[in-house]
Amino acid sequence: MSILDKCKNFRDAEAVKKAGLYPYFREIDSEQDTWVTLEGGKRVLMLGSNSYMGLTNHPEVIEAAVEATRKLGTGCAGSRFLNGTLKIHRELEEKLAEFMGTESALVFSTGFQTNIGTISALVGRNDFVITDKFDHASIYDGARLSFGKAVRFEHNDMADLEAKLAQIPEGRGKLIVVDGIFSMEGDIAKLPEICELAEKFGAEVFVDDAHAIGVLGPNGEGTAAHFGLGDKVTMTMGTFSKSLASLGGFLAAGRETIEFLKHKSRALIFSASPSPANVSAAMAALEIIKREPERRERLWENTRFMLESFSAMGFDTGSAETPIVPLHVGDMQTAFMMSKMLEDRGVFVNPVVPPATPPGDCLIRVSFMATHTREDLAHAIEIFRAVGTELNII
């Protein structure tokens, strides 16, 4: 038996490809904007992007990346731990700590590595990591790589969280890890209740704000600021690949926590550091977010408009309350068919199927940007209405 037999026998995608409904690895041949061009020249409205602030093609962000490349080159040729830390890495960390209202911050190469590198380093052999059932895969991988015990609670179910915490022996280290905005459901973690339970049971709170930076909070600082709980949340992670229009990740936390991770996080120590272009682009995007709050206001106007429109049409959007809106469409075939029909009529969305969803509860994940115009969205509504009606979803 060969370890490669599983590859030779892999057929999961075959039937969907033969049916012409395969929705993954679609090639985009333009900048990531509100409208994009697919391979072959087809222009479609992008309703599947995580660029919530619409900054990936902003002239200042592009120029920052270009200028950093001219000055510092294309890469750092080493890890943060050894020869790969540049002055701009530290500058960005200082700006992020100030923005997030924490003592310190630490920049990683990706958001995925931020979660893996933080959780696996902090959760030791006698510790417990308690996660929401709908947390991001990187959180679960971080928990698996740790030497601690992983415990799941039902999604946003505070009674179940309390029951799970009560079962943990006294004196054990406990880290509760939740998404701030859940990436598929589009709802927000019940952070006030989580922080109360953390205090009751002596746990620390880690919030994954990949989808909340720039979106939630008075200035886009994320979920803790949204609820006024900055002093109750132990640490917050964020990514550069969404609102910050780049690639990378960071952890905002106390100075002692950051100092520990700088010397104990394997994902940081043994990975090449983010390129000058990535770091400078994120720094430029952060400055735009701070000085242009109207972007966040437009994003929420778009979100409210579309949530109301989907509801009026009869779509089931579940518990969505953010710029991520899932349309519950039922089985996998319907999800793939709807995605293809929408694309054929000029709208790009993302189908979400098991194991990312329960069987029979597949989603069309729709997401919005600050730069979508009302005309863009009105155009999309008519297409959603037609496709939803044809598929008997509405």
Catalytic residues: 183, 211, 242
Give me the sign of the Cα torsion angle 132, 135, 138, 144: positive
**How far apart are the C-alpha atoms of 193 and 181, rounded to whole Å?**
15
**How far apart are the C-alpha atoms of 327 and 342, rounded to whole Å?**
13
- 249-253 and 324-330 strand pairing: unpaired
Q: Within a 10 A sphere around the Cβ of 370, how many other Cβ atoms?
A: 26
Beta carbons of 120 and 260 less than 8 angstroms apart: no
Task: Tell me the backbone φ, ψ of residue 125, rounded to 5 degrees.
Answer: -60, -35
Burial class (CB in 10 A: 0-12, 13-18, 19+), 341: middle
Beta carbons of 242 and 52 less than 8 angstroms apart: yes
E-only strand ranges, 88-164:
104-108, 128-132, 149-153
Q: What is the DSSP string of 343-372?
A: HHTTEE-EEE-TTSS-TT-EEEEEE--TT-
**Angle at CA 219, nearest 5°, toward 268 and 319?**
85
CA atoms within 13 A on the CB side of 354: 9
Amino acid type, 83: N
**How far apart are the C-alpha atoms of 143 and 133, rounded to whole Å?**
13
**How far apart are the C-alpha atoms of 229 and 176, rounded to whole Å?**
15
The structure tokens 């991988």 sit at: 141
**How far apart are the C-alpha atoms of 83 and 77, rounded to whole Å?**
7
